[in-house]
């Protein structure tokens, strides 16, 4: 069945790929570590919204402050992240949700005007992702909300953050520690399939 022009040295392409993969992985690792430290530094200068220089990595299109919404306005997390109890994804509020309040509240502020600009143009706001799990991890907000895990357990004290940043490592060891503590399942297939 096999054709005669099969590669004689079958392992060579595989070895090429393996070596290349090793190089790429190593460099990617270095890069990831560097990036992981970055937001922490930015977050130290927690002086108010919009302090991150525009164009810097992690800069959001709107200088949104969780602190103002949660602490000052007293809005519940799930008012905006409305899917957290219903599905795997917590959801970023729709532009309609932002505009719903801000059409009347503080609509004169320049940053709010930018939000309303998105609404008027019917454009989505291209938020920058802060919490990103690898694609081979299946995480469900719903299961954690149902189990009574507080948002801040994984997301840190977002309520006091002017600029959202990743507070926890979100590494597998970190997940598993919590699962062990709460006697939740530690089967691999809970998250990996």
**Minimum distance between the CB of residue 7 and other proteins, rounded to whole angstroms?**
5
Yes or no: say if 84 and 78 are a contact pair by the CB < 8 Å rule.
Answer: yes
Number of residues counted as binding other proteins (CB under 8 A): 64
Q: Terminus-to-terminus CA distance in the chain, angstroms?
A: 34
Q: How far is CA 77 from the centre of its chain?
A: 15
Measured CA to CA, the distance from residue 58 to residue 60 in angstroms comes to 6
Which one among 103, 109, 138, 182 touches other proteins, defined by CB under 8 A?
Answer: 138
Measured CA to CA, the distance from residue 155 to residue 169 in angstroms comes to 10
Does residue 193 touch other proteins according to CB under 8 A? yes
Q: How far is CA 164 from the centre of its chain?
A: 9
User: Toward other proteins, which CB reaches closer, 67 or 125?
Assistant: 125
Which stretches of the chain bind other proteins, using CB under 8 A? 1-3, 5-9, 12-13, 15-17, 19-21, 23-24, 26-28, 30-31, 35, 57-58, 83, 86-89, 91-97, 118-119, 122-129, 132, 134-136, 138, 140, 142-143, 146, 185, 187-190, 192-193
């Amino acid at each position: 069945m096999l054709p005669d022009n099969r590669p004689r040295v079958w392992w060579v392409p595989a070895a090429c790929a393996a070596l290349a993969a090793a190089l790429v992985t190593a460099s990617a690792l270095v890069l990831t570590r560097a990036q992981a430290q970055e937001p922490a530094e930015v977050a130290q200068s927690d002086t108010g919204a919009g302090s991150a220089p525009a164009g810097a990595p992690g800069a959001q299109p709107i200088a949104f402050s969780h602190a103002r919404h949660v602490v000052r306005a007293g809005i519940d997390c799930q008012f905006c992240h409305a899917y957290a109890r219903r599905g795997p994804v917590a959801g970023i509020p729709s532009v309609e949700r932002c505009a719903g309040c801000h059409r009347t509240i503080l609509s004169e502020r320049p940053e709010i005007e930018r939000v309303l600009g998105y609404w008027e143009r019917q454009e989505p706001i291209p938020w920058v992702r802060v919490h990103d799990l690898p694609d081979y991890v299946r995480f469900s907000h719903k299961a954690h909300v149902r189990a009574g895990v507080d948002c801040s357990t994984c997301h840190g004290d977002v309520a006091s953050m002017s600029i959202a940043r990743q507070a926890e490592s979100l590494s597998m060891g970190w997940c598993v520690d919590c699962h062990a503590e709460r006697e939740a399942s530690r089967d691999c297939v809970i998250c990996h399939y």
